[in-house]
Amino acid sequence: MWPLFALFLGLAVGSFLNVVIHRLPRGESVVYPPSRCPQCGHRLGPWDLVPVLSYLALKGRCRYCARPISPRYPLVEALTGGLFLLASLFYPPGVEALLVFLFLAFLVALAFIDVDTFELPDPLTYGLLFLGLLASWALAFPLPFRESLDGSLMAAGGLALVAGYGNFFLRRFREGRAEVPVGPHQVHMAALFGALLGPGVGMALAFLAWALSARTGRAVALPDRLTLPLLPLAFLLAPALGLDFLESLKGSLLAAGGLALAGGLYWAFRPLPEEGEEEEPVAMGYGDVKLLGALGAWLGPYAFLALFLGVFAGALLGLLLRQRKLPFGPYLALGGVVAFFFGEALWGAYLRLLGV
């Protein structure tokens, strides 16, 4: 009974997610007005909105204008139904199952919005992040709170640094413009100080630079030319300062992640520039960083497995689909789902393979 219920719930939620995916990037309400045919604008009745079945009964065409309906709609419904069904096999009815359903629904919405718009909306990435932290804090599910927080910061910090080095190489080591008041420069600073002085001090120094930068209106940061090349050196020198390598790496990722997620939150909610004022270029792309941070809140260290699976799936599908350019979000979401349900099993199998 329970798996069947989960399947039907998933189909219905998938139908709602179609609305979210369509309207959220346009800044429209997801509850009002009622659904209409995107082609002819005719209001849809209950018989047009039965998940998957309406599409099949109507043979993929609008009842009113007979123009084709995108197969995306039944696909999203079937996918969500399938994912909820999968979750019901792992979790009995209860609060935990409900949270896992929410986790999956957020990921489906994020993946398809990224396909459509090449953007991961902040309300969804931060929503997923805070939901994971909150649930861990209140219920110790999906993780003990400390693991959820550390996982989130380290995952975001790790990907922010990968992005930092990537951009640095692409610019051929030329210094990029530092953002005011906060941007990747302070994230890289936090990583360096975190590696040498621990996450607390590393984060504090970078937040200080952010505050000074906001106060003076000029970027207060060390150049990437300094921080990025020094970071690997800091890991090597850490033992001389009484930190072991792993501690140093962890400190660096925690500090960088803290800055990246706090900075992203600032840019998401900053007051809009006044009329006539020059619109600043939107800083800190970081959509994938925030998504991986959110996954970290749910997966802990397994977020890195999600990242690895995402890169692997992306490379594989990139080879198969050749011409189609896809954003990274859907692969990360896929990696996240696989790591959430099968992470421990995969990791165990990998260790057995190594004979550990």
Of these, 12, 44, 49, 62, which contacts Zn ion (CB under 5 A)?
Answer: 62
* CA distance linking residue 128 with residue 298, whole number of Å: 9
Residue 37: how many other CB atoms lie within 10 Å: 16
| Residue closer to Zn ion, measured from CB, 47 or 173 | 47
Segment interacting with Zn ion, rule: CB under 5 A, options 36-44, 161-169, 225-233, 341-349: 36-44
Residues belonging to the chain: 356
Q: Does 102 bind Zn ion (CB under 5 A)?
A: no
Q: How far is CA 312 from the centre of its chain?
A: 17
Site string for Zn ion, 201-240 (x = CB under 5 A): ----------------------------------------
Residue 131 interacts with Zn ion (CB under 5 A): yes or no: no
Q: Shortest gap between Cβ of 311 and Zn ion (angstroms)?
A: 40
Binding residue (CB under 5 A) for Zn ion from 8, 64, 91, 342: 64
Among 12, 16, 19, 39, binds Zn ion (CB under 5 A): 39
> How many angstroms from the chain centroid is the CA of residue 328?
10
> Which amino acid appears at position 76 of this protein?
V
Q: Is 311 helix (H, G, I), strand (E, B) or coil?
A: helix
Q: Does 341 bind Zn ion (CB under 5 A)?
A: no
Instruction: Extract the tokens encoding 321.
Output: 């689909």
- Give the span between the Cα atoms of 156 and 138, in whole angstroms: 22
* Cis? peptide before 232, omega within 30° of 0: no
Considering only 19, 37, 204, 226, the residue that binds Zn ion (CB under 5 A) is: 37
Answer for which of 65, 139, 233, 246 binds Zn ion (CB under 5 A) is 65
Among 2, 5, 36, 40, binds Zn ion (CB under 5 A): 40
Interacting span for Zn ion (CB under 5 A) from 26-34, 37-45, 105-113, 129-137 = 37-45
> For Zn ion, which is the closer residue by CB, 64 or 341?
64
DSSP letter string over 43-56?
BPPGGG-STTHHHH
Contacts of 167 (CB under 8 A, 6+ apart): 176, 184
Compute the least distance from the CB of residue 53 to Zn ion, in Å: 18
Rounded to the nearest whole angstrom, what is the least distance from the CB of residue 184 to Zn ion in the complex?
46
CA 9 to chain centre: 24
Task: Yes or no: say if 136 and 300 are a contact pair by the CB < 8 Å rule.
Answer: no
Residues that bind Zn ion (CB under 5 A): 37, 39-40, 62, 64-65
